[in-house]
A = this chain, B = another copy of it.
Amino acid sequence: MAVFTHVEEEELEAFLKDYDLGDIQAFKGIAEGVQNTNYLLTTTKGAYILTLYEPGIDKTELPFFLDLMDHLSKNGLACPVPIKTRNGDELGELCGRPAALVSFLNGVSVGRPTAHHCAEVGRGLAQMHNAVVDFPGKRANSLAHEGWRSLADTCLEAADEIEPGLANLITNELKYLDDNWPEGLPEGVIHADLFPDNVFFLGNDLSGLIDFYFACNDTFIYDLAICMNAWCFERDGSFNATKARRMTAAYGMERPYTEDEIHALPILARGAALRFLLTRLYDSINQVEGAMVETKNPMEYAKKLQFHQRVKNAGEYGLG
């Protein structure tokens, strides 16, 4: 949530010479994004987000993300649209960093989503899944099910210091998921990180999805499971079945479920909970001194996992 690279006006002017965006009106570093530097740029032609990709991001993957946003917006999804230079390039260089401009999206993320917001997100996610069907890009999910065991191995020793019994919970869950993980579900490019921060609303209406930098190929319903975990639990840890019902119903209206998908939702919800439990655990154990990123509590996701372990079927999420 910080500006890692300071861009001076003169450097910006030089960078913008390749674009057809009119004159600069304002330029502000914004506290958005954990890994990259983002500026809000307004010109006489409109408002844009300028992103500088900081070391740590794999440069070779940037065309995938930018092409994806371009494809989604061309297929009617409200998301940032990459702005091209006069030569048609989506990616440039600024202050020694790969840099891209995308259109600015109006809207505000909500801190306390209502059931209505959850329905909007279910609908938006399904629209994204419909829109990617003919997208040719591919990117492996670096945090897919197959990688969880090796990620867990680096954390198990320290897990019980965070909460006694946590290592056991993880080990048992890994075994359960290995034994029962569903195969052959419909797949394509998923958002993989559609938390409330990444969804904008204008009034009560969804106005856009942002931050596609975790997007990857995986099963569509796993993406819905990630959303359900992120949106349908209350701050006290309780599961709001109304929110889940509204989300899953709205999703299904846009993109009808297969029987297998409905059947798989509970285990995918467990998997999605474990994935965020593990990365949060890893981040807690490997905190960087002085880093400007707030570490999120892994136990929030341990509790979500335990909730889903008790679920018998997708009916408890309002489905089927």
Which A residues form the contact surface with B (CB < 8 A)?
A: 1-3, 8-12, 23-32, 40, 42, 104, 106-112, 201-203, 289-290, 292
Contact = CB atoms under 8 A, between A and B. Distances in A.
Nearest to A32: B28
A10 B203 contact: no
Given A10-B110, A10-B111, 15 more contacts: A1-B2, A2-B2, A3-B31, A9-B108, A9-B109, A9-B201, A25-B107, A25-B202, A26-B106, A28-B31, A28-B32, A29-B30, A29-B32, A30-B40, A292-B292
Greatest chain B CB density within 10 A among A10, A30, A290, A292 is at A30
A204 B40 CA distance: 21
A108 B29 contact: no
Nearest to A109: B9
Given A1-B2, A1-B3, A31-B28, A9 B203 contact: no
Contacts of A25: 106-107, 202
Contacts of A32: 28-29
A72 to B, nearest CB: 20
B1 A29 contact: yes
Contacts of A111: 8-11
A289 B290 contact: yes
Greatest chain B CB density within 10 A among A110, A111, A292 is at A111
For the complex of A and B, the 7 pairs showing the least CB-CB separation, nearest first, are A8-B111, A29-B31, A3-B31, A290-B290, A28-B30, A9-B108, A25-B106
B26 A2 contact: no
Given A9-B109, A9-B110, A111-B10, A26 B104 contact: yes
Greatest chain B CB density within 10 A among A29, A30, A108 is at A108
14 contacts: A1-B2, A2-B2, A2-B31, A8-B111, A9-B110, A10-B111, A11-B111, A25-B106, A26-B107, A28-B28, A28-B31, A29-B30, A29-B32, A40-B40
B8 A28 contact: no
A169 B152 CA distance: 59
A111 B7 CA distance: 9
A108 B27 contact: yes
B10 A292 contact: no
Nearest to A292: B292
A31 B27 CA distance: 11
